[in-house]
A = this chain, B = another copy of it.
Amino acid sequence: MQRYFVDSTQISSPDRITVRGDDVHHIKNVMRMKAGDRLICCDNRGTDYLAELVSVSEGEARCRILETTASRGEPRIQVTIAASLTKGDKWEWMLQKGTELGAASFLPFTSARTVVKLDGKKAGKKRERWQRIAKEAAEQSHRGQIPHVEGVTDWRSLLERFSAFDRVLLASEKGGRPLREALQESAEEHLMVVVGPEGGFTETEEREAVAAGAVTVHLGPRILRAETAPLALLSCIHYSYGEMGGEPL
């Protein structure tokens, strides 16, 4: 069944939801839904509404709520993926799959070896595009929330963000602790994983990250690409906490 994210202003008591924007086009022209057809609206705050389409016009799709349930798609552990910009469409791939795999938010950054540069105007447009990708992936994967995609930040500013997290794990090719060990001692709920660009981090950056509170971790002897590492880390972290197939559905 199709899922659409709405915000609280679109939900009116006792049982009405009004879908607006691009999703109306999708409902009307892509899915060709008719009155009586069912869909799920999620309020991006953890509640799913099973709804029935009442009527569609150019700008609005009016729905009647049939059932209200808690969204089931959100993991308990909130993992933020801080990932350096990478070339081509790799960052967008990672964003899409990271959303499927349950990431809470994404923080693009540039470090010493980042190859991609984004000027101010381009960066703004990219961010809009990325937020759209996250929304579509969240809908398709049945998430209860759309991961937030932040603006591109620099290395210094990224370091300053570490203290807001219970644990920060920096993916290192040079060694560090096995991921399993780093997670065992952690019973916390807000994690950040930090993954560098194609060329990795400099030794100075690794030292600065550790000084700012990060733990360097590795995922075994194989080298993972910049766009693969966040997905592997996310999968293993959630699995470790029993989120990915750790409990019956």
Contact = CB atoms under 8 A, between A and B. Distances in A.
Interface centre among A142, A221, A247 (most CB of B within 10 A): A221
A224 interface: yes
Interface in A148-186: 175, 177-182
B141 A224 contact: yes
Interface stretch (A8-16, A53-61, A96-104, A205-213): A96-104
Contacts of A243: 220
- Count of chain copies: 2
B222 A142 contact: yes
Nearest to A224: B100
Contacts of A142: 221-223
Interface residues of A, number: 44
Interface string A212-249: 00000111111111001001100110111011111111
B239 A180 contact: yes
Contacts of A72: 221
Contacts of A180: 239, 242, 245-246
B143 A222 contact: yes
Given A231-B231, A231-B235, A236-B236, A223 B100 contact: yes
A140 interface: yes
Interface in A180-197: 180-182
Interface in A73-111: 73, 75, 93, 97, 100-102
B239 A141 contact: no
What 6 A-B pairs come out closest when comparing CB atoms?
Answer: A179-B245, A235-B235, A178-B245, A236-B239, A219-B245, A72-B221
15 contacts: A93-B93, A102-B220, A140-B225, A141-B222, A141-B223, A178-B247, A180-B245, A180-B246, A219-B245, A220-B244, A220-B245, A220-B249, A235-B235, A236-B245, A239-B240
